[in-house]
């Protein structure tokens, strides 16, 4: 069984935000203006060693959101994709605190500051409602996995920095790239440094 993952090659990411726009395009029915399930984070902006990485839900194998959810609304598909049920989500925000990637979004602002239903990257795999139903499109967005396609963000990435697919396959692609770059110390765009290196 495949384990679907994202992997962003920070040596290739050019911070074009194409993945963010592709995501907005693919899931437009489920998103409101200003809410992005994916974002590009740039570190050391304008300095030597600048690196960008595209981040969304990483569909963790041991997902902290799933561990902390008091309403048990998360589930994992056979492909290892972490999805959630908006019908049972209570909008408590625990998943947002637990998530190391800031993936959960809370688009609705209602009175008393209540958050509304959580929304996050679905790996373009829809939700727990019937595939391609109107409800699925409006609540969760696209279901490209059911169409046999990968998420649109990775498909549209112009430099192929953002890879999506079976963990085995994309990690071997990444391994080949690192070998070709012959710089095995560079992982995720960083030369490992300690405080002594800055003196």
Partner 1 sequence: MHREPLYTPRRDLVAKYPTYQDRRVARLPTLYWSIQKEDYAKDFPVILTTGRIVEYEGGGEETRSNAWLAQLAREMYIEINPADAADRGIRNGDKVEVLSPTGAKVFVKAMVTPRVAVGESFMPFHFAGVFEGKSLGPKYPEGTEPFVIGEAANTAMTYGYDVVTQIQETKATLCQIKKA
* Cα(71)–Cα(87) distance, integer angstroms: 10
**Residue from 11, 12, 21, 133 binding partner 1 (CB under 8 A):** 21
24-32, 98-106, 118-126, 133-141 -> range binding partner 1 (CB under 8 A): 24-32
Which residue from 3, 11, 12, 16 is in contact with partner 1, where contact means CB under 8 A?
A: 16
Burial 135-153 (b: 16+ CB within 10 A, else e): ebbebbbbbbbeeeebbbb
Per-residue binding string, partner 1, 39-78, x by CB under 8 A, is: ------xxx-------------------------------
d(CA 26, CA 56): 14
Does 191 contact partner 1 by CB under 8 A? no
Task: Yes or no: say if 75 and 59 are a contact pair by the CB < 8 Å rule.
Answer: no
**Residue of the chain from 10, 24, 105, 122 that contacts partner 1 (CB under 8 A):** 24
Residue 47 vs 62, nearer CB to partner 1: 47
Q: What is the DSSP letter of 81?
A: -
CB of residue 179 to partner 1, shortest distance in Å:
30
Where helices occur in the chain by DSSP H, the ranges are 18-26, 64-68, 94-98, 134-139, 152-156, 167-181
| CA 189 – CA 41 distance, rounded (Å) | 12
Choosing from 3, 11, 15, 149, the residue that interacts with partner 1 (CB under 8 A) is 15
Q: Which residues bind partner 1 (CB under 8 A)?
A: 15-17, 20-21, 24-25, 28, 33-34, 36, 45-47
């Amino acid at each position: 069984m495949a384990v679907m993952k994202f992997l962003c090659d920070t040596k290739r990411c050019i911070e074009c935000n194409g993945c963010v726009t592709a995501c907005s395009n693919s899931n437009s029915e489920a998103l409101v203006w200003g809410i992005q399930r994916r974002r590009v984070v740039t570190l050391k902006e304008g300095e030597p060693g600048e690196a960008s990485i595209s981040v969304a839900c990483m569909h963790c194998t041991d997902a902290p959101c799933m561990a902390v959810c008091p309403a048990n609304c998360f589930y994992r598909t056979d492909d290892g994709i972490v999805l959630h049920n908006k019908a049972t989500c209570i909008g408590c925000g625990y998943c947002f605190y637990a998530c190391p990637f800031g993936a959960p979004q809370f688009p609705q602002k209602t009175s008393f500051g209540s958050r509304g239903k959580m929304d996050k990257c679905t790996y373009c795999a829809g939700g727990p409602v019937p595939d391609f139903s109107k409800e699925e499109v409006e609540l969760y967005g696209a279901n490209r996995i059911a169409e046999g396609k990968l998420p649109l963000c990775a498909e549209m990435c112009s430099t192929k920095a953002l890879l999506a697919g079976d963990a085995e396959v994309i990690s071997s692609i990444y391994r080949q790239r690192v070998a070709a770059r012959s710089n095995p110390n560079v992982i995720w765009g960083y030369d490992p440094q300690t405080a002594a290196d800055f003196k």
